[in-house]
Structures are given as C-alpha cells and as structure tokens.
Amino acid sequence: MQHPDVILSTRNLSVGYRSGKSVTTILHGLDLTLRRGELVCLLGANGIGKSTLLRTLSGVQAPLSGEVTISGRDMTHYSPKELSRLISIVYTDRTLAGALTVNELVSLGRHPYTGFLGRLDHKDRTIISHSLDAVGMRHKADCHVATLSDGERQKVMIARALAQEAPVIILDEPTAFLDVASRIDTMRQLHSLACEHGKAILLSSHDINCSLSTAGRLWLLRHDRTMSEGVTEDMIMNGELESLFSDNRKVSFDRTAGDFHADTEYLHTVSLDCDDTILRHWITNALHRNKIETGNHNSPINITATSATHITVNGIPATSISQMLDMLHARL
C-alpha cells in the first residue's frame, strides 16, 4: 500500500537513450517515490545520469522500460497540456527573456490555463502575485528580467514554476551559478514551498552541505549507478554518502561536517590537547592541510592550546596558529 501523499512514483524504471536500434541504458531498476510536502535532493557524481533521470521524470524523455506514475496514472497517458499542470520544471538555462518584465515572465507559467491569446483573467493575476510573494520578488514585478541578479532570476523562475500550479516541481541544479547567500536563500525558500504550500519538490544538486541541511529525503545515485533513497539523517548514519564517489576520486565523507573532504596521506603525527571544540577544529584543519595527523600522546611532538593566542609546541609558547605552524615545520 502506497503512502497517501505519494504524488509521483516509479516502478522498475530504466532511463537512457534510444537512437535507432541501439539502446544506452544509464540507470535501471529504479523504484522511487516522491510525496507532497517534501523536498528531495537527488545527489550523484557528474555524468552519472541525474539530468537524464530528471528529464524522464518530468516527461520530456520517454523511459526505456518500467513506468512513471504521477497522480495515480501512468505518465504516458497524459497529454502534454495535462502534464504541464502536474509538473513544472526549473532549468538553469540562460533564456532570451531579458526584455520581459518579471511579471510577464511569471505570467508565462499560466500558459497551460489561458486561452488562445494568453489573456490573463483576475484569477490568473492573483496567482501570479501570490507566486511572486512566495519567493519574495513582488517588489521587482515591473523590473526587466535582464536587470536582475542571478539569484533573483532563479527566484523568478521558481515563481514561474509556482504560477503553473503543478503539485510537483522539478529543478535541475537550481543553485549551480549562485553565491553562497543566494544558494542558502533559494534552498530555504524551496523548503518552505514544500512545507507551507505542500509542493513535492525534487532537485538535483552538487551542494552536499546545503542539501543535507534542507532535504527531508535523499535520492542518492551511487558511483556504481545504483540508487538508494531514504531520510537524510538515516542515509548519513548508514554510510550511504560514502558510496557517492568511487575510491579513485580520492574524497571521503566527513559525517561531522556533513561534507566531502580530500583524502590526505599524512606524513607526520602529533598529539593535540585542546578543550575548545572550535579551536580544536581549526587547528586540526591547519594540521591536516600540512599533512599532519593528530594522534595519541606517544608522538614526539605535543601541542596544547587554551586559546588562539596561547598555544604551546612541546612547551614552547606560540601566539598564533601561524607561529605554531612555523615551529612545526622547523621540527618535522
């Protein structure tokens, strides 16, 4: 029995390309579910098939086999117009829409509902302004799209998707070109759209850290092209994140930081005494960068730190992390 909130699901889905007689399967045997009111992040290495999967789920590309069910019916049974009322998509493509106003661009989201000439009625206008409110872009309604920053533009594209009034919103790397602040802001807004507006939101991302803090569930494409899905924290604790990249990519997942770090071959070991967790974290960071591991007290060098200006190396005081590093370099 399926969860009543499930809006989109797949059964034994294979995605890939068909050209003439040759079939290239990229992912197969996928059984996935997406529910109303949840934000799901699709994680995976470059070229693993994230975009192909998203294209298939959004109905742009036909599945090789298996089925995608949306709102209780096989996706292939919907007309393009019906589908456009069920799924809206946000890409990162540059568009030629610079000379449209924000309002005009968002009103394109009403396309599946308007008549022959696209005339908007009162209801359409209300939905457009609500969509702009939802992403906090109402004040820019009459500005040209060309005058917006990348982050603002992305919000407007999300507003356009909202105006489409589809229960499912699929976004292909929505934060790819954004700075950290806009990235966090966009993710926060997507999260609230899921919680407050009951949208089912599926997005692909390379921003592991941001995804882990915002996504309720993860769809994780392992490096061997198998898929695992689950609640974010379960996935972390089950060690699923570690399977994102193959060993030869030389990165490993840091469960505390919730992000990937470069694998380092340490050349030296020192012992570190420090009770301040923040200070300990950043001294360790500096040591690791210099290929120094922190280990047990048997090591020949012993570092103690009580504050950032009170560090000792084998009893000799240092007044900064920089000085500590100089002293270590002299000894190792």
Partner 1 sequence: MKSRKAITLWSLAIAIVLLFTACLIFGSVDIPLSGVTDALLGRQTERHTWSVIVIESRLPMACTATLAGAALAVSGLLLQTTFDNPLAGPSILGISAGSSLGVAIVMLALGGTIGTSFGSYFSVLAGALLGAAIIMVTLLAFSSMVKSTAMLLIIGIMISYLASSAISLLNFFSTQEGVHSFVIWGLGNFSGVTLDRLPVFASLTTIAIALSFLMVKPLNALLLGARYAENLGVNIRATRNRLLILSGTLTAVVTAFCGPIGFLGLIVPHIARLALRSSNHIVLLPATALAGAAIALLCTLISVIPSQWGIIPINAITPVIGVPIIIYIILNRKKILYFN
89 lies in the site for partner 1, by CB under 8 A? yes
The SS3 of residue 180 is helix
Shortest separation between residue 144's beta carbon and partner 1, angstroms: 5
8 Å CB contact between 41 and 203: yes
In the bound state with partner 1, the residue whose beta carbon lies nearer, of 105 and 272, is 105
Q: How many residues bind partner 1 (CB under 8 A)?
A: 35
DSSP E strand stretches across 21-167: 22-30, 33-35, 39-43, 65-70, 73-74, 87-90
Interaction residues for partner 1, span 1-60 (CB under 8 A)? 58, 60
In the bound state with partner 1, the residue whose beta carbon lies nearer, of 201 and 210, is 201
Paired tokens of 199: 């949208």
211 lies in the site for partner 1, by CB under 8 A? no
**Out of 69, 84, 154, 182, the residue judged to bind partner 1 by CB under 8 A:** 84
**Out of 14, 114, 192, 271, the residue judged to bind partner 1 by CB under 8 A:** 114
Task: Choose the binding region for partner 1 from 19-27, 92-100, 216-224, 280-288 (rule: CB under 8 A).
Answer: 92-100
146 lies in the site for partner 1, by CB under 8 A? yes
Paired tokens of 278: 């923040």
106 secondary structure, DSSP code: H
165 lies in the site for partner 1, by CB under 8 A? no
CB-based contacts of 162: which residues, under 8 Å, 6+ apart? 88, 109, 130, 131, 134, 135, 169, 193, 197, 199
**Out of 80, 224, 248, 298, the residue judged to bind partner 1 by CB under 8 A:** 80
CB-based contacts of 7: which residues, under 8 Å, 6+ apart? 34, 35, 36, 70, 71, 167, 168, 200
Alpha carbons 3 and 319: distance in angstroms, whole number: 59
- Binding residues vs partner 1 (CB under 8 A): 58, 60, 79-81, 83-85, 87-89, 91, 93, 95-101, 104-105, 108-109, 111-112, 114, 116-118, 142, 144, 146-147, 164
